[in-house]
Amino acid sequence: MNTRTILQGFQWELPNDGTHWQNLQLEAPQIKMLGFTGIWLPPAYKGAAGKDDVGYGVYDLYDLGEFDQKGTVATKYGIKQDYLECIHTFHALDMEVYADVVFNHFLGADEEEEVEAVRYIQNDRTQEDGKSEMIKAWTKFTFPGRNGKYNDYIWTWKNFDGVDYDQRRHEHAVFGFAGKEWAKNVDTENGNYDYLMGADLDMKNPETVEQLNKWGTWFQDMTHVDGYRLDAVKHISFDFFVDWLRNRQRERGSQPLFVVGEYWSDELDKLLHYIDASGSLFTLFDVPLHFNLFKASSSDGQFDMSQIFTDTLVAHRPEWTTTFVDNHDTQKGQALESWVEGWFKSQAYALTLLRREGTPCVFYGDLYGIPTQNVAPVGDPLEIMLHVRRQLGHGAQKDYLDDPDVIGWTRMGDLAHENSGFAVILTDRIGGEKEMSLSALNGGETYIDCLGNRKEEITLNKEGVGTFPVNDGSISVWVNKKVKEELKLHLKVSAVKNDTDTV
């Protein structure tokens, strides 16, 4: 089984008080105790909106909260020293740290430049909308607050291939620079989806590629991160990251980097094509599975649960898949809002955490809640499933995905892990029961629902077969009764830690 379990270490609505790196250091022991092996940290560099920037409006890649730029020294999350200490804290707990990398665009340029450009039709970037003309574009990045420290390169319009604003006419449109063209090896939405926002980086310019590589060397040496989350890869030439990641791996040494790319599409064929076109170097988030979970949570019980993994990446390329339930972009109020409703969160997390396939990523807002949106943490069910994954998730898997309402699967356990294995049964509508098999290793053992939704005990026959029930619109995770006290202790320790944090 893939034992890697990732926490997305932020959500969009975090306060902009510059304390997040410090808070994560305090939370790190509990995060480790819950069974996470790695944490994905938000973009650490200065954004155009200063302390209000979540990190995706990239201004200065070299400013990790060190220089007075965009009205602040600290980023939304804190200062550089806090960031480096946060990474060190997780490393000291033998956890991996993954950095968020945004290479699609820059925002917040320091100066305008006159550039010849042509307007493109908004929903078809293969079609020009008029003749070329001179515009004033915000494309010159001098980083005066940093004053050349670490790197003195000045970014100009030559490093970009388009913008979405003409300062001269105060006009918003998609402008491509004359003499340049959009990258061809990108997503085909809008005809060509190279351009997304801001000043779009031109990966055909050797200096642009060289500077991003220089920054990568500096950043890897500075932070010693264990991998990367790559933002907006559908908008960047599909082969760009091959050399960039090869260089980072060379700098890291023999220990392999873990990398996941965000290709936001629910079309399986596009994800498969990207994996192949990008050299099968890293995993992708399973966006099709997320949308299946979203639909199941919002279809009033009408979703066919037997099809929950149909046309998902994890069903076709599990080794190249990172599964997730929600993230910072899907939470309420964001551009990609597709929030999995709370009543279905436990089922959704079972479908990611308690499966053999894929690398699961848990959302910070589900673990800790989102107070500004009155979203409560998923709570005990999520923490219990994290523990079950780590302690009991061993052996072969047998699926019972054969009913539109009630589905299940078992992990059979193995000899190396005492009392391992479990049975999962869940529904989005009417409850029921399923006869499911673990293995003869578990024959005659008594099983209980560790989530507490069912109170009876199930004794397996000598072949390890039992009939497991589930309530309406609910989930039950059946584990060997012998681990009951271990689970109670786990939750008790977690509860004490939470109480201490609130004092």
**425 within some domain:** yes
Last residue of a domain, one of 201, 223, 245: 201
Catalytic status, residue 110:
no
**196 within some domain:** yes
CATH number at residue 135: 2.40.30.140
Distance of alpha carbon 450 from alpha carbon 354, whole angstroms: 13
**pLDDT at 210 (0 to 100):** 98
Residues pairing with 423 in the sheet = 410, 478
Last residue of a domain, one of 148, 166, 201: 201
| E strand spans, 107-250 | 111-121, 124-128, 133-140, 160-166, 171-177, 199-201, 227-230
**pLDDT at 502 (0 to 100):** 39
**475 within some domain:** yes
Considering 82, 262, 286, 428, which one is annotated as catalytic?
Answer: 262
**pLDDT at 501 (0 to 100):** 46
Place of tokens 């989350």: 229
**pLDDT at 10 (0 to 100):** 98
> DSSP label at 420?
-
Considering 231, 326, 405, 428, which one is annotated as catalytic?
Answer: 231
**118 within some domain:** yes
**pLDDT at 17 (0 to 100):** 97
The one-digit pLDDT tens for each residue of the chain (503 residues) are: 578 999 999 999 999 999 999 999 999 999 999 999 999 999 999 999 999 999 999 999 999 999 999 999 999 999 999 999 999 999 999 999 999 999 999 999 999 999 999 999 999 999 999 899 999 999 999 999 999 999 999 999 999 999 999 999 999 999 999 999 999 999 999 999 999 999 999 999 999 999 999 999 999 999 999 999 999 999 999 999 999 999 999 999 999 999 999 999 999 999 999 999 999 999 999 999 999 999 999 999 999 999 999 999 999 999 999 999 999 999 999 999 999 999 999 999 999 999 999 999 999 999 999 999 999 999 999 999 999 999 999 999 999 999 999 999 999 999 999 999 999 999 999 999 999 999 999 999 999 999 999 999 999 999 999 999 999 999 999 999 999 877 766 655 555 445 444 33
Catalytic status, residue 63:
no
**305 within some domain:** no
Which structural domain range is residue 152 located in? 106-201
**176 within some domain:** yes
Tally of domains within the chain: 2
**430 within some domain:** yes
CATH number at residue 485: 2.60.40.1180
Last residue of a domain, one of 181, 201, 221: 201
Residues 6+ apart with CB under 8 A from 379: none
**pLDDT at 451 (0 to 100):** 96
CA 306 to the chain's CA centroid? 25
> DSSP label at 278?
T
**152 within some domain:** yes
Q: Is the pTM of this model over 0.85?
A: yes
Distance of alpha carbon 30 from alpha carbon 27, whole angstroms: 6
**pLDDT at 500 (0 to 100):** 42
194-197 long-range CB contacts below 8 Å, 24 or more apart? 194/125, 194/161, 194/162, 194/235, 194/236, 194/237, 195/120, 195/125, 195/161, 195/162, 195/164, 195/235, 196/104, 196/105, 196/232, 196/235, 197/104, 197/105, 197/107, 197/164
